Amino acid sequence: MDIFYGLDILGTIAFATSGTLAAIHKKLDPFGVFIIAFVTAIGGGTLRDILIDRNPVSWMQDLNYVYAIIGATIFTILIRKKIDYLSTSLFLFDTIGLGIFTIIGTEIGIQQNLHPVISIILGTITATFGGVIRDILCNEIPIIFKKEIYASACIAGAITLIILSNLEIDTNTNYIITTLIVISIRLIAVKFKLRLPTFIIEKK
């Protein structure tokens, strides 16, 4: 198993856990919990594959993704009482998934010989749109549409991946650096409450 495939499975587990925690927080039934976990884990990747006409989509060709989602969901449900802070755990797993899936989407764009800008967009879509679907189904405003630094971290990571690839940096080192950059930006932004500006229309 190469590092790219391993990271994809790890990202799937991280986002499945994130979705499970969000569903538990909303007090959904077991079926609802699984659905939220599933769409969170595969939503961004599915949209990416559709956009680049990659058929069938990745998780339909490899049941290991489905097994990973089922396993992560069941395990998270079983240990839910041992998790003292659901919001903190949700943030942690969401951030890990964000970093890993940025790599996956961007790298697939590079492998498809797409323009670097398109590869960056694919990386951002892969990393964020599972969370968008999760939040919509849980009746929340998606984080990506709030003023939090979320997609911006993915863009920074995707740009780093492409630059380091052009510099012919070792692939494994590149993946590690890129993931850490995305995770670090997200953690620092939340720690110091950094926000993107919003537009306000003043009433006369």
Q: How many structural domains is the chain composed of?
A: 1
Domain assignment present for 204: no
pTM of the predicted structure, to 2 decimals: 0.92
Q: What residues make up the domain containing 110?
A: 3-191
Q: pLDDT digits over 19-37, tens only?
A: 999 999 999 999 999 999 9
Mean pLDDT of 161-174: 95
Q: Tell me, what's the pLDDT at 85?
A: 65
pLDDT at 86: 67
Q: Is residue 199 part of a domain?
A: no
Cα 174 from chain centroid (whole Å): 18
197 inside domain: no
Q: Report the candidate in 155, 143, 156, 154 with the shortest Cα–Cα distance to residue 195.
A: 143
Residue 84 pLDDT: 53
Q: Does the residue 196 lie in any domain?
A: no
Domain membership of residue 89 (yes or no) is yes
Per-residue pLDDT tens for 88-111?
A: 888 999 999 999 999 999 999 999
CB-CB neighbours of 204 under 10 Å: 3
> How many Cβ atoms sit within 10 Å of the Cβ of residue 173?
10
DSSP 143: G
CB neighbour class for 111 (10 Å; exposed up to 12, middle 13-18, buried from 19): exposed
Amino acid 145: pLDDT: 86
Cα diameter, the chain: 62
202 occurs within a structural domain: no
Evaluate whether residue 134 is within a structural domain. yes
Q: What is the pLDDT of residues 52-94, one digit of tens each?
A: 999 999 999 999 999 999 999 999 999 887 775 667 888 999 9
End-to-end CA distance of the chain: 62
pLDDT for residue 80: 84
Residue 182 lies in a domain: yes
Q: Is 195 helix (H, G, I), strand (E, B) or coil?
A: strand
Q: Measured between alpha carbons, how far is 10 from 192 in angstroms, rounded to an integer?
A: 28
What confidence category does residue 179 fall into, taking pLDDT thresholds of 50, 70 and 90? very high
Q: What is the mean pLDDT of residues 171-189?
A: 95
Whether the per-residue pLDDT at 14 is higher than 80: the answer is yes
Distance CA 95, CA 184 (A): 9
